Structure 1
Amino acid sequence: MLSRRQGRAWYHWFAATDSPEERKLILKLDLLIVPYAFIGFWINYIDSSNINNAWVAGLSDDLGFHGNQLVDMQTIYQVGSVIGQIPFAFLFPKFPMNWLIPGMELFWGVFTLLQFRANSYSELMAYRFLIGLFEAPFFVGVHFVLGSWYRADEIGRRGGIFYIGLTLGSLTASLIQSAASANLEGVAGLSGWRWQFIIVSLMTFVVAVAGFFIWPGTPDIPNKLFLSDEEITLARKRMQENGTGASNAATPKFSLPLLKSVFTDWKVYVLTFWNVLFWNSDPQPWGGYLLWVKSLNRFSTSEVNRIGSSAPGVGIAYVLFINFSSDLWLGRTGAIILAHIVNIVSMIVLVIWTVPESALWFAFNIYYFDIAMSSVLYGWANDILRHHKQARAIALIVMNTVPTAIRAWIGLLVFKTVDSPRFTKGYSYCLANSIAIIPWTLLVKYLHDRYE
């Protein structure tokens, strides 16, 4: 794969060795896979993160919430996500992905909608759990599909465009809540934060239905609505040349020997711990920026959410820069190290805290550099695991479930709502993980190079 990257300018979309037929196929796949993945993740992150926007927009006051109930709702979402991921290690290689992922999206849309009628802590906790449960397969499912159609030198840029959905989701959730607070407060007797849940759930339903028709599934179980038999054959040939699924016949489809082959291999442990460090270097799910802006007590509810969109807004540029540079310039190792050097600077400022206010604005608005490298990490993992699709599904689920489970209770320890807006323990914890991921990434590179 390195040879395909060498000699390519940053703006080259195809490899020089790609035939005209391959370029046509790649472009069609880009139009079918990437936009839906991007829009789906955009909706996914609106629906998962909008509890923070609703909290600062009046939910906590209207329902009499107090103490650590915000972090409790963030945690119960993570618990649902952990439980929901486990079955999909079995289902990804066996079930049409153009039915599986959009189907789950419809379900999480229903429970996103039901939040508008919540009148108690227990009711909202139940909805947050179910949203996490049904959202669980989306992120890993997209990476499974990307790894099924794209080579290692192609996946970083596509994954980067997909991952913009996270930053855009955070930005849009803030803007939707800002507009709802400014224009819909009291309409039909509903608070602005209730209207937010109605609006975003309707968006979710539209995207889910489109996914049934647009998404191409995988080369093994394709959606042939927009792909011909010749294009599917060519796609399978490309991935065989890439080594993807090369040893599918060497191990039974799902069996004790398969599980033994996965869990006696270095890959699942090294990649899982790598992902644990990454997930726990990221402070943004806990809403620290929004809570800090609100604590300044000089902005209206609408302004707090609008200002809160600045960090994910500039984060879009970080995601594009890190992921495109990983494919075409810095390489995967360099892109990950750069992202975490910037994150270390951000976390140091937030740990110190007693700095000029402008330094805090700066730190909060660069901390999306950390998550910008997510698709580099998952794309690299797809490459490392590419030789057996069932083992790849299991390993991807394990490496995503373990950090989700850890982060579910970490928030209760170091990002307690009562400590806001200054999360000294939380930012120190993220700093330690961000420092540790740099040598671990070098270890991954060494092991992968030796393995190849």
Structure 2
Amino acid sequence: MSFPTEKSPQVLDATESPDIELSKETPGQSPGSVTARRQKWYEWFAPTDTPAERRLILKLDGLIIVFVFLAYWAKVLDSSATSTAYVSGMKEDLKLYGNQLNYLNTVYYVGFIVMQIPLTLLMTRCPVNYFLPAADLLWGVFTLAQYKVSTITQLYALRFFVGALGGFFFPAVQWYLGCWYKRSELSRRGAIFFIASQVGSMSSGYIQAGAYDRLNGRFGLEGWRWLYIICFACTVPIAFLGLCLLPSTPDKCNSRFLTSDEIILAQERMKSENREARQPFTWPGIIRILKGWRIWVLVAFAFFFSQADGVSSNSGLSLWLKAEGYSVGKIDTITTVSPAVTIIASVICAVLSDIYDAKASLIAITAVLNIFACVVLAIWNIPDGLKFFAFFLSGTADGIAAIIYAWANEICAHSAEERALVISAMNTIGNTFGAWIPLFVWKTVDAPRYLIGYNWTIALDVCMLLMLVVLHHFWVREQKLTRA
């Protein structure tokens, strides 16, 4: 399935950039007209970017992308710390039995889900350069406090606040990136940010295992308590780095690293994208957002996307390898291929999206690949090589995350408040359903052949393709009305 790209070739003055080449005259084209050379896949800047723009973009990458990458990586460490701590002595020390681990995860997700939209909207009212690092620092403090707990009740309370302070980070950063970067730059930056979660997944096991082996019993502390101390130690320097580096938003920017000319240039760049500055929240404005098509279509689309990564997120590969008699070492090594595939897919999709503006086509291709992988796994009785290929191929499902949120930033460009509400609602709905649907679809008793889960994922991807047609229709129609 292919869709037309969302933008037409730019026609510019030949004196504006040395990278713009004269084109041959074609019928109906005025003599001497020129078109911009298309950006190459390996080029970081667009040919039309001026030297001043390139300096600004490099500064923004150093000030913003470095922080959000490191901060997201640290949060992934904590998301797995409790499960690791549980099997590393916390269960016995706190006398946790029955379903307490499930309850801990539930409390975490309650804070994670309930506070996503309110905190993301609150951030739009505050200086972002202080809000994000301060929330990160508080998240680190609540994470550290978990090493001192002596009862499960204390741990429940702390896990709620850890979930609340960490849960809004993803949609908040997506909104923040949309305040600074053009649509031809967003997907790559969003991909770098998203890749941090995959790097965190690949590195967390090694970090936590090494910490437990070397620190268990040190200074009279059990190894599982050291896990939380390490998470805190990773977070605090990153939070202070954010306080030192992050600029606010272009409309109210106070950065020691950006000149006044660069701030004006950033404002002009956002105006050229029709990306509006922040405005006060009003009830008529909220009602207008709720009456529009964007929030409903984008949130519905996000539901199908967020659940379609079930193959890679429900341990099907590791459980199959265990059933086949693979050693723990080989299982740990082989399962790192899936996040590596996600990283590669994210980079490829982001580059192609920014250069060719082919978001719809990339989403459609990824959905088809995931359908193929799930069909193969649903059949199950196939050669092992094909089964490995299907498991690894399913890692591409999350590769389109960056371009989906970049597209949401573009679609809602006219209102900073709508961008914040829509992006946070998209992420919230995915996490809300992701917290309980696996209990019915990805049942452990069905492992390693999750027949229901694979068929469920096929249905999700088919629905995502249908919603993609709906989303593309509304977006193209709105563009035509705007141009008219």
TM-score under structure 2 length normalisation: 0.82
Contact 1:71–1:417 (8 Å) recurs in 2: no
Matched, 1:3 2:37: no
Alignment of 1:191-206 (within 5 A): 192-206=223-237
Displacement of 1:68: 6.1
Alignment of 1:134-145 (within 5 A): 134-145=165-176
Distance 1:406 1:323, change over 3 A: same
Unmatched 5+ stretches in structure 2: 1-6, 11-35, 480-484
Contact 2:317–2:391 (8 Å) recurs in 1: yes
Displacement of 1:93: 2.5
Q: Tell me, what secondary structure is at the counterpart of 2:251?
A: coil
Inter-partner Cα distance in structure 2 for 1:169 and 1:366: 20
Contact 1:293–1:308 (8 Å) recurs in 2: no
- Map of 1:40 onto structure 2: 71
- Map of 1:148 onto structure 2: 179
Alignment of 1:226-241 (within 5 A): 226-241=257-272
**Letter paired with 2:293:** W
Q: Tell me, what secondary structure is at the counterpart of 1:80?
A: helix
Aligned Cα root-mean-square deviation (Å): 3.1
Inter-partner Cα distance in structure 2 for 1:435 and 1:318: 20
TM-score under structure 1 length normalisation: 0.87
- Map of 1:299 onto structure 2: 327
Inter-partner Cα distance in structure 2 for 1:321 and 1:349: 24
Contact 2:38–2:47 (8 Å) recurs in 1: no
Displacement of 1:387: 0.7
- Map of 2:463 onto structure 1: 436
Matched, 1:103 2:134: yes
Q: Which moved more, 1:350-359 or 1:55-64?
A: 55-64
Distance 1:6 1:291, change over 3 A: farther
- Map of 1:158 onto structure 2: 189
The structure with the larger Rg is: 2
Report how many residues are paired.
Answer: 447
Inter-partner Cα distance in structure 2 for 1:286 and 1:129: 23
Distance 1:382 1:449, change over 3 A: same
- Map of 1:90 onto structure 2: 121
Inter-partner Cα distance in structure 2 for 1:418 and 1:179: 32
Alignment of 1:275-354 (within 5 A): 275-283=302-310, 284-290=312-318, 299-300=327-328, 305=332, 308-329=335-356, 331-354=358-381
Alignment of 1:49-448 (within 5 A): 49-54=80-85, 72-117=103-148, 123-180=154-211, 182-185=213-216, 187=218, 192-245=223-276, 253-283=280-310, 284-290=312-318, 299-300=327-328, 305=332, 308-329=335-356, 331-416=358-443, 421-448=448-475
Q: Which moved more, 1:416-425 or 1:175-184?
A: 416-425
Unmatched 5+ stretches in structure 1: none
Distance 1:99 1:122, change over 3 A: same
Matched, 1:19 2:46: no
Contact 2:147–2:225 (8 Å) recurs in 1: yes
Provide the identity percentage. Answer: 35
Q: Tell me, what secondary structure is at the counterpart of 1:333?
A: helix
Inter-partner Cα distance in structure 1 for 2:152 and 2:373: 34
Q: Tell me, what secondary structure is at the counterpart of 1:253?
A: coil
Inter-partner Cα distance in structure 2 for 1:362 and 1:50: 30
Inter-partner Cα distance in structure 2 for 1:156 and 1:140: 14
Higher relative contact order (CA 8 A, sep 6+): 1
Displacement of 1:243: 0.5
Inter-partner Cα distance in structure 2 for 1:25 and 1:368: 34
Contact 1:346–1:366 (8 Å) recurs in 2: yes
Q: Which moved more, 1:213-222 or 1:336-345?
A: 336-345
Distance 1:259 1:45, change over 3 A: same
Q: Tell me, what secondary structure is at the counterpart of 2:186?
A: helix
Inter-partner Cα distance in structure 2 for 1:317 and 1:63: 41
**Letter paired with 2:287:** K
Contact 1:71–1:411 (8 Å) recurs in 2: no
Distance 1:400 1:155, change over 3 A: same
**Letter paired with 2:427:** N
